[in-house]
Amino acid sequence: MLVLGIESTCDETSVAIVENGKNVLANVVASQIKEHAPWQGVVPEIASRNHLKKIIPLTEKALKLADLEINQVDLIAVANRPGLIGGLMVGVSAAKAFAWVTKKPFIAINHMDAHLYSPHISSEINFPYVGLLVSGGHTMLVIAKSYTSYEVIGTTIDDAVGEAFDKIAKFYDLGYPGGPAIEKTALNGNELAFSFPISNLYKSDRKFDVSYSGLKTAVINHLHKYQQAESYSVADIAASFQKRAFDVLLKKIELAIKEFNINTVVVAGGVSANQYLRKRFQQIKNCNAFFPNLKYATDNGAMIAAFAYHKYLEEGETSLSEGVYPRVEGFKISLLRK
Ligand code: KG4
Ligand code: ZN
């Protein structure tokens, strides 16, 4: 089955064509980094306008790369949640129009479900596994039971980990997007130079939850000291922050491995591109960790098309009257999703 997948939830427009959830025939991505860089963050209106400009040429490009006409595609998939509303509307409107004119089925996908699926594109992974979803908007710990079913066991109670990277990079003027900028800066730093605070949610109903606002605020407040003290190195600050940001996630993963007696771990979402994080996972005992191929770590259409194949087989198509949802309700503790 050939699936065309559209991704327009944030600052990347992407269209892909994937066969049977695995074989990526085309995955074209138009990044908006240049457009948002002057503001050191995503400007929603600029994002929507760029999605609108790019969506048709990218679809044409993806079809050309795959050597297909649009009516040879079997299913049209799009992320309709969570994300910036303007971008979601562009992607969903385009997907519905393509489905309508070609009379092919349409399917709407949760962007986070697609991130969790992304390592499956290149690896064979057995269920159940512990899933760690780390992106610019979400930080979630799940127990995945099948491609389409997982239980959320923990989430951030405030900021997402990617958001903390982005905000800190903005304050220290390290560049946008903040994640790769901090990772690069940290390469020359001493991760033990500063002991930033780490959240410690330990109560039984909170033990898999995380918090990033305290760490983020502490590092941002450190800016003043950094500007005063000539001896402070921004690389040391970046490395110390990065270590702390991931210490807490690794602690929760170790806890989940023990508590659920599951050794397979899947890490996905934009932050999973971080090489330091990947190395840290190698140090966890009894842990067989899977990460997406780098090109499927940050937002991309391939993960939408690939995951849509499984969702369609299990649940069928989505009505063309389906809407867009900037937030996803219920990414909270102990919610069993089907
Ligand atoms: O999944 P994604 O592309 O978009 C969302 O769904 O949010 O994730 C984007 C997030 C941003 O916060 C970005 O700074 C972060 O992923 N990110 C990274 C790295 N690459 C992207 N964070 C840490 N290290 C990286 N190498
Ligand atoms: Zn994403």
pLDDT, residue 336, reads: 39
Nearest ligand to residue 249 Cα: 1
pLDDT above 60 for 268: yes
Query: Ligand 1: which atom is nearest the Cα of residue 277?
Result: 24
List every span in the chain annotated with CATH 3.30.420.40: 2-116+297-315, 126-291
Substitution site in 51, 115, 139, 165 for ligand 1 pocket (most atoms within 8 Å of beta carbon): 165
Q: DSSP assignment, residue 126?
A: P
pLDDT, residue 335, reads: 42
**Residue nearest ligand 1's atom 2 by CA:** 270
- The neighbouring-strand residues paired with 7 are 14
Cis peptide before 105 (omega within 30 of 0): no
Number of other CB atoms surrounding residue 326 within 10 Å:
15
- The per-residue pLDDT of the chain, averaged, comes to 94
27, 28, 60, 72 from 67: Cα distances, Å: 13, 14, 10, 10
Please give the class, per CATH, of domain 2-116+297-315: alpha beta
pLDDT band at 12; cut points 50, 70, 90: very high
Please give the class, per CATH, of domain 126-291: alpha beta
For Cα atoms 289, 128, 139, give the angle at the middle one, nearest 5 degrees. Answer: 60
- For tokens 């939408």, the residue is 304
Mean pLDDT computed over 306-322 = 98
pLDDT above 60 for 108: yes
159 lines ligand 1 (CB under 6 A): no
292 lines ligand 1 (CB under 6 A): no
pTM of the model: 0.95
pLDDT above 80 for 333: no
pLDDT 10s digits, 221-235 = 998 888 887 778 999
**Residue nearest ligand 1's atom 16 by CA:** 270
Q: How many percent of the chain have pLDDT more than 90?
A: 89
Q: Distance (Å, rounded) from C-alpha 168 to C-alpha 180? A: 12
Mapped onto helix, strand or coil, the DSSP state of residue 16 is: strand
Torsion sign across C-alpha atoms 316, 319, 325, 330: negative
Query: Ligand 1: which atom is nearest the Cα of residue 135?
Result: 8
Q: Distance (Å, rounded) from C-alpha 169 to C-alpha 140? A: 22
298 lines ligand 1 (CB under 6 A): yes
The continuous run of DSSP H or E covering 336 comes out as strand 335-337
CA of 200 to the centre of ligand 2 (A): 26
- The neighbouring-strand residues paired with 290 are 266
Mapped onto helix, strand or coil, the DSSP state of residue 167 is: helix
191 lines ligand 1 (CB under 6 A): no
pLDDT, residue 175, reads: 92
Substitution site in 298, 327, 328 for ligand 1 pocket (most atoms within 8 Å of beta carbon): 298
